[in-house]
Chains A and B, each alone.
Chain A
Amino acid sequence: DTAVSQTPKYLVTQMGNDKSIKCEQNLGHDTMYWYKQDSKKFLKIMFSYNNKELIINETVPNRFSPKSPDKAHLNLHINSLELGDSAVYFCASSQEWQLDNSPLHFGNGTRLTVT
């Protein structure tokens, strides 16, 4: 059973479109995240939710809007897609919001290509 699953795995779309990426975790974790991995392979945190409440919101354009309908799901909606949004987006979860004793469990990523 996949612990953290994201859909779709690949997403190719044109500039200006709106798209969503879905994430679900079956680990019973309280905290979920979205990370972006750019072409230089740096993983950068975008958002973090704990018990459906937003606790981290990095300097991300407001075209990106996370939604957490319940603790097991964290979706990412992106409006007016731009070329620079092309990257791999990873969903992750952790048992607790403090990571000193609770590592991150990542999904396998969604490769977004904006043309």
Chain B
Amino acid sequence: SQKIEQNSEALNIQEGKTATLTCNYTNYSPAYLQWYRQDPGRGPVFLLLIRENEKEKRKERLKVTFDTTLKQSLFHITASQPADSATYLCALPSGGYNKLIFGAGTRLAVHP
């Protein structure tokens, strides 16, 4: 079955730098991949979706890439701010277009 691996260690970076988070999957390449942000005590919030035929997607300071050869998606936040501190979850479909599985997420801490 499909599995998602995200770096379980927290990523600590300085304000203004670019944060890069990794999402690796183990089996077949999914038709799309989604990224969510989760703050403590809150539900995940959708950020970006990238399809298998798209190499890159951007939204303001966010950029997502999708490499089906490496079975990997990278999530970048440029000019990071302390307000970007949160856990970022990668999700992809498994067993149908309606069933999303999630990685455990990577916690990002942006320090002033």
Contacts and interface: CB of A to CB of B under 8 A. Distances in A.
Interface stretch (A14-22, A62-70, A79-87, A95-103): A95-103
A98 B97 contact: yes
B98 A48 contact: yes
Contacts of B97: 97-100
Contacts, number: 65
B106 to A, nearest CB: 10
Nearest to A107: B43
Nearest to A45: B99
Given A41-B104, A41-B105, A104 B46 contact: yes
Given A45-B101, A56-B99, A100 B43 contact: no
B104 A55 contact: no
Interface residues of B, number: 26
B18 to A, nearest CB: 24
17 contacts: A40-B104, A41-B104, A41-B105, A43-B89, A45-B100, A48-B99, A56-B98, A90-B44, A98-B98, A99-B32, A99-B93, A100-B31, A101-B49, A103-B49, A104-B34, A108-B41, A109-B41
Nearest to A41: B104
Contacts of A100: 31-32, 49, 51, 93, 97
A61 to B, nearest CB: 19
B44 A43 contact: yes
Given A56-B96, A90-B44, A100-B31, 16 more contacts: A31-B98, A41-B87, A42-B102, A42-B103, A44-B101, A55-B98, A56-B98, A98-B97, A98-B98, A99-B34, A99-B97, A104-B36, A104-B44, A106-B43, A109-B41, A109-B43
Contact of B45 (A41, A50, A106, A109): A106
